[in-house]
Chains A and B, each alone.
Chain A
Amino acid sequence: MAYSIFCQTPNDATREPMFFGQAVNVARYDQQKYELFEKLIEKQLSFFWRPEEVDVSRDKIDFAQLPEHEKHIFLSNLKYQTLLDSIQGRSPNVAFLPLVSLPELETWIETWSFSETIHSRSYTHIIRNIVNDPSVVFEDIVVNQEILKRATDIADYYDHLIQLTQVYHLHGEGVFTIAGKQLSVTSRDIKKALYLCMMSVNALEAIRFYVSFACSFAFAERKLMEGNAKIIRLIARDEALHLNGTQHIINLMQAGRDDAEMGEIAKECHQQAYELFLRAAEQEKDWAKYLFKDGSMIGLNETILIQYVEYITNQRMKAVNLPLPYPERSNPLPWMKNWLESDAVQVAPQEVEVSSYLVGQIDSAVDENEFSDFDL
């Protein structure tokens, strides 16, 4: 089953399944099987933004005045966000593109991944501004045990899928010995790996990201690090869209109308998917402990963040038809709503409500002495 970048067999893409059909040849969008992906692309393009548009210079002053334990919270959170987007900026392309068979879905995956690269670039923009040596922050990401623990879990699902796909494209189905390990490769195995990987991506975008957003917005609720919050707000807006896309793919897989075998696999993996989400949520709770190990901050502490993890996990699992692991409760962070609401996102700086723009633009304090040399 060698992979070809341009398969010359004529086909009707609208009759192919989302994945594992004939690889996409002509990128045509006049006929589409799932129009939603096209709508997602259009929306994502309309959301385009650049980190340089957001002024983060005020954040440097704020950051310098933060107590040590809050600096730890802010930087650790930023490191984690950097890790998540480093993964998401490449993995959907590497893992899903070789398997996709619909042009609109292929383009959605590329558009999705591209927007993650903007997020990565914006972290550099933020970090460069608040610390003198960005290396201190970036280099810690691959040695910090707390971050690595979660990176392993996220990357494993991708790595497994990528390895199976590569072996399948080289040798086809069969049992192979790869680096001393036996590896059984069937198309069903790959489909299963894809389903679980998609679930893991969903847990990443739907739970892990939102825990980090909560921390960023908690600072801005106190009028601190507002430039950062404005960038994170733009990132959150993109993420909501990605989440919608991933949930849609998962729902299509579960329904089995797109690919009957995938529907069976979804049923088979029900328990595994449940445990995957639960593990992600539990890891996020451990992370909350690490974040607040030296002290909490006004408006956010370990207990509230853990409650939020449970609340958001329930909501996300409901969306992909999984049973709810935690007791139902009301939103422990009601102010998150104001930050996630897209109408409140303004790209043009003159329209921004974030006070960092207003502060420092006009000095409205006028001393009486200013007029001392005035003559009428």
Chain B
Amino acid sequence: MSSQTLIFKKRPIVLLQGEPLLLWNWQQQSQTLLQVLEAKKVRIFSECRSGYCGCCRTKIRSGSVRYLIEPLAELAPDECLPCCCVPNDDLDLELSCNGAEMPLLREKRHA
């Protein structure tokens, strides 16, 4: 699959413990995952925001990320530093949706 042809890439969905939070917008190119999560009021702890303190370390339930700068932390295969990465595909994070601005889902409204 090393074709040079540009293949349309589906916009990744970011989920919090299985609950969909948002559809990633590639137009927000300079934004990191952390900034997007914060804009949605997700409770996440951060400090240096440049990948060297390791404070925003977050567990990935499924999916993968791409780093904008190389993180200075030993990360397990299922961990990421949201301050310096963007989602690569649908990304389910081990973060609580408490307090976050979750989208209203149709099924939920009827329930």
Residues of A at under 8 Å CB distance from B?
34, 36, 39-40, 43, 237, 240-241, 243-244, 247-248, 251, 315, 319, 328, 330-331, 337, 340-343
Cα of A363 to Cα of B90 in the assembled complex, Å: 55
By DSSP majority rule, is chain A's interface helix, strand, loop, or mixed? Answer: helix
Pick the contact of A40 from B45, B57, B72 — CB < 8 Å? Answer: B72
Closest Cβ neighbor of B53 among chain A residues? A240
Closest B residue to A241 by beta carbon equals B52
Of residues 52 through 67 on chain B, the ones whose CB sits less than 8 Å from some CB of chain A are: 52-55, 57
**B48: CB under 8 A from chain A?**
yes
* B11 within 8 Å of A (CB atoms): no
Q: Which residues of chain B are near A315, meaning CB under 8 Å? A: 45, 55
Within 8 A of A (CB), among B38-58: 43, 45-50, 52-55, 57
With contact pairs A36-B73, A43-B72 given, residues A244 and B49 touching in the complex (Cβ less than 8 Å): no
Distance A244 CA – B57 CA, assembled complex (angstroms): 11
CB distance from A53 to the nearest CB of B (A): 20
Decide: B53 and A243 in contact? CB cutoff 8 A: yes
Given A40-B72, A248-B74, A319-B54, A240 and B48 touching (CB < 8 A)? yes
Q: Quick check: is B77 within 8 A (CB to CB) of the other chain?
A: no
Q: Which residues of B contact A241 (CB under 8 A)?
A: 52-53
17 intermolecular pairs with C-beta atoms under 8 Å apart: A36-B72, A36-B73, A39-B72, A241-B52, A241-B53, A243-B54, A244-B72, A244-B73, A248-B74, A319-B54, A328-B43, A330-B99, A337-B46, A337-B47, A340-B48, A341-B49, A343-B49
Q: How far is the CA of A340 from the CA of B49 in the complex (A)?
A: 9
**B47: A residues at CB distance < 8 A:** 240, 337, 340-341
The 7 closest A-B pairs by CB, nearest first: A240-B53, A342-B48, A244-B54, A342-B50, A315-B45, A340-B47, A341-B49
Chain A residue nearest to B96 (CB atoms) is: A328
Contacts A36-B72, A36-B74, A244-B73; is A43 near B52 (CB within 8 Å)? yes
Chain B residues with CB under 8 Å of chain A are 43, 45-50, 52-55, 57, 72-74, 99
**A313 CB → nearest B CB, Å:** 12
Q: How far is the CA of A244 from the CA of B50 in the complex (A)?
A: 13
Give the docked Cα–Cα distance between A139 and B48 (Å): 34
* Residues of A contacting B48 in the complex (Cβ-Cβ under 8 angstroms): 237, 240, 340-342
Inter-subunit contact B54/A247 (CB<8 Å): yes
B63, chain A: closest CB distance, angstroms: 22
CA distance A40 to B57 in the complex (A): 17
User: How far, in Å, is A208 (CB) from chain B's closest CB?
Assistant: 16
| A342 partner residues in chain B, CB cutoff 8 A | 48-50, 52
Instruction: Determine whether the beta carbon of A319 is less than 8 Å from that of B73.
Output: no
Instruction: Report the separation of the CA atoms of residues A40 and B53 in the bound assembly, to the nearest whole angstrom.
Output: 10
- 8 A-B pairs besides A36-B72, A240-B53, A341-B48 with CB distance below 8 A are A240-B47, A240-B52, A241-B53, A319-B54, A319-B57, A328-B43, A340-B48, A341-B49
Q: State in angstroms the CA–CA spacing of A143 and B60 once bound together.
A: 50
Residues of B within 8 A of A248 (CB): 54, 73-74
Across-interface contacts of B99 in A (CB, < 8 A)? 330
In the bound assembly, the distance between CA atoms of A337 and B34 in angstroms comes to 13
Residues of the A chain whose Cβ atoms lie less than 8 Å from the Cβ of B73: 36, 244, 248
> Measured between C-beta atoms, what is the minimum distance from B35 to chain A in Å?
11
Q: Tell me, in angstroms, the Cα distance from A337 to B43 when the chains sit together.
A: 13
Measured CB to CB, the closest approach of chain B to A248, in angstroms, equals 6
